[in-house]
């Protein structure tokens, strides 16, 4: 059964427990060890892991008292507010597929349905899908990122202060208020220590383990994990690594050596590389500041050529600036899909496009856009439909799972909005990028000539 059909089936199954029940709240976790924050899944806002809970049990990295309350809320049929990412989609119409359905239908989740549906509320759960960030060290400062996630952003905010938007975007006051200030990479960090204490037990239960950042290739802990896996194979576990592929080539080569050893000796079930880019060329470089697009593509092609068993997921945090040239980006992705499928003749596509929609900051989300630009989103969706696997043949077009994410974000972009709120975020859009250009020596209108009318509209 394909992923969409199983998600539709699982939707009814979940709703039989409650219309707000989602297995990801129990089984999937992202832990930000650099500042001791956790969330389940990765969509809700993070919350701090109380150090006293951690001292009692390192599994507090996932099982905080706060999270247990959210789980119970779900079972009681009340939507946790923090899961707005899914409610936004489900409120468009009951036929929509949200991440609640998609995630709960995954192999790391669905087999545990009964156990989770009947689990007592105090039970400490060992997650089956864990994503971990060891530090905020990063060589990029993407437009939608934050100082506690990127050390480059931290440097900029320390030097120039927050951005002049209504909410003072990326103010360190907010970071401090939310207790998100990161430990320095060389500082003793109780959260990293708790992770390594929990790791031998946790490792045996995981179905998916994913390393994120910061930039994971700039952190020794990433290679410590890869060494551990080399010595303790888990042929039934999927391993995933995020990277911006913008690090020096010797680190790309070193990572490829590890990947080759792990893949060729079947030490994991699958090795997946998640790499982010939100559109093509100079517009992508503008959004993901630090990115050199040509170099990025060269590194991506190096890995795809050298590692036939590697599966690459290109993550596009679809935002307002993705829109103007997204059709060109889709064309490049399609060319790579065909090229590497033919080169390796593999059973599954070596390259998949994931298109989550960006919600924060709101002024960068597609909801800020004018009708003409929203129409362009619909055109990109139509292009994906036109070049779908169903029409082009297997492995030669976009898969249903790629298209459905584009469809739902198109619907979300078109959803009715409060005009006063739109005006508010458009003011922020102009304030933000005016300051961005000043600090970074970039030029919004030169880079995005297709958005000049929209820029003027925001000014009005």
How many C-beta neighbours within 10 Å does residue 457 have?
Answer: 15
Which of residues 86 and 185 has its CB atom nearest to ligand SF4 in the complex? 86
- Which residue among 25, 47, 62, 405 contacts ligand SF4 (CB under 6 A)? 25
- Which residue from 202, 189, 196, 178 is spatially nearest to 51, judged by alpha carbons? 189
User: How far, in Å, CA of 14 to CA of 3, rounded?
Assistant: 16
Closest approach of ligand SF4 to the CB of residue 40, in Å: 6
Determine, following the binding rule CB under 6 A, whether residue 132 of this chain makes contact with ligand SF4.
no
- Which residue among 7, 10, 14, 24 contacts ligand SF4 (CB under 6 A)? 24
Closest approach of ligand SF4 to the CB of residue 140, in Å: 25
Using CB under 6 A as the binding rule, the residues of this chain from 96 to 125 that contact ligand SF4 are 99-100, 103
Which of residues 25 and 141 has its CB atom nearest to ligand SF4 in the complex? 25
> Do 40 and 61 meet the contact criterion of CB atoms below 8 Å apart?
no
User: How far, in Å, CA of 185 to CA of 173, rounded?
Assistant: 21
Which of residues 99 and 428 has its CB atom nearest to ligand SF4 in the complex? 99
- Which residue among 7, 22, 320, 366 contacts ligand SF4 (CB under 6 A)? 22
User: How far, in Å, CA of 327 to CA of 373, rounded?
Assistant: 13
Using CB under 6 A as the binding rule, the residues of this chain from 292 to 321 that contact ligand SF4 are none
Exposure string over 133-168, b if 16+ CB within 10 A, otherwise e = bbbbbbbbbbbbbbbbbbbbbbebbeeeebbebeee
User: How far, in Å, CA of 280 to CA of 325, rounded?
Assistant: 7
How many C-beta neighbours within 10 Å does residue 356 have?
Answer: 15
Determine, following the binding rule CB under 6 A, whether residue 47 of this chain makes contact with ligand SF4.
no
Determine, following the binding rule CB under 6 A, whether residue 44 of this chain makes contact with ligand SF4.
yes
Which of residues 24 and 154 has its CB atom nearest to ligand SF4 in the complex? 24
Using CB under 6 A as the binding rule, the residues of this chain from 53 to 92 that contact ligand SF4 are 83, 85-86
DSSP 204-258: HH-SEEEEESS-GGG-HHHHHHHHHHHHS-EEEEEEEEE--S-S-HHHHHHHHHH
Closest approach of ligand SF4 to the CB of residue 363, in Å: 22
Closest approach of ligand SF4 to the CB of residue 194, in Å: 22
Q: Where does this chain bind ligand SF4 (CB under 6 A)?
A: 22, 24-25, 40-41, 43-44, 83, 85-86, 99-100, 103
């Amino acid at each position: 059964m394909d992923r969409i059909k199983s998600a539709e089936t699982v939707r009814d199954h979940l709703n039989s427990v409650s219309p707000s029940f989602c297995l990801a709240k129990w089984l999937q976790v992202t832990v930000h060890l650099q500042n001791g924050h956790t969330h389940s899944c990765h969509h809700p806002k993070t919350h701090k892991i109380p150090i006293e809970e951690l001292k009692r049990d390192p599994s507090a990295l996932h099982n905080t008292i706060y999270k247990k309350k959210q789980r119970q809320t779900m079972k009681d049929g009340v939507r946790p507010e923090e899961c707005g990412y899914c409610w936004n989609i489900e409120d468009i119409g009951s036929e929509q597929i949200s991440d609640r359905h998609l995630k709960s239908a995954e192999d790391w989740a669905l087999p545990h349905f009964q156990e989770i549906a009947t689990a007592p509320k105090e039970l400490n759960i060992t997650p089956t899908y864990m994503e971990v960030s060891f530090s905020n060290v990063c060589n990029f400062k993407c437009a939608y990122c934050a100082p506690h996630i990127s050390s480059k952003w931290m440097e900029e905010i320390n030097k120039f202060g927050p951005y002049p938007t209504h909410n003072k975007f990326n103010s360190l006051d907010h970071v401090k208020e939310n207790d998100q200030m990161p430990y320095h990479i060389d500082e003793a960090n109780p959260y990293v220590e708790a992770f390594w204490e929990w790791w031998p037990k946790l490792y045996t239960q995981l179905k998916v383990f994913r390393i994120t950042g910061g930039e994971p290739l700039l952190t020794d802990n990433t290679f410590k994990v890869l060494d551990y896996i080399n010595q303790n194979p888990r042929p039934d576990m999927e391993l995933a690594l995020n990277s911006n592929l913008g690090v020096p080539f010797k680190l790309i080569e070193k990572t490829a050596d590890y990947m080759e050893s792990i893949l060729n000796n079947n030490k994991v079930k699958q090795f997946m590389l998640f790499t982010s880019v939100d559109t093509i060329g100079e517009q992508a470089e503008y959004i993901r500041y630090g990115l050199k697009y040509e170099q990025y593509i060269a590194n991506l092609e190096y890995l795809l050529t050298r590692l036939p068993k590697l599966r690459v997921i290109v993550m596009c945090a679809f935002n307002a600036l993705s829109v103007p040239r997204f059709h060109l980006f889709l064309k490049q992705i399609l060319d790579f899909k065909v090229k590497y499928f033919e080169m390796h003749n593999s059973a599954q596509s070596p390259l998949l496009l994931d298109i989550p929609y960006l919600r924060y900051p709101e002024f960068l989300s597609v909801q800020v856009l004018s009708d003409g630009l929203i129409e362009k989103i619909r055109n990109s969706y139509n292009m994906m439909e036109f070049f779908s696997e169903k029409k082009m043949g297997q492995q030669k077009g976009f898969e249903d799972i790629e298209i459905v994410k584009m469809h739902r974000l198109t619907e979300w972009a078109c959803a009715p909005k409060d005009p006063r709120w739109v005006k508010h975020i458009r003011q922020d859009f102009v304030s933000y990028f005016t300051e961005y250009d000043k600090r970074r020596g970039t030029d919004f209108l030169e880079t995005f000539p297709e958005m000049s009318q929209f820029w003027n509209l925001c000014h009005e």
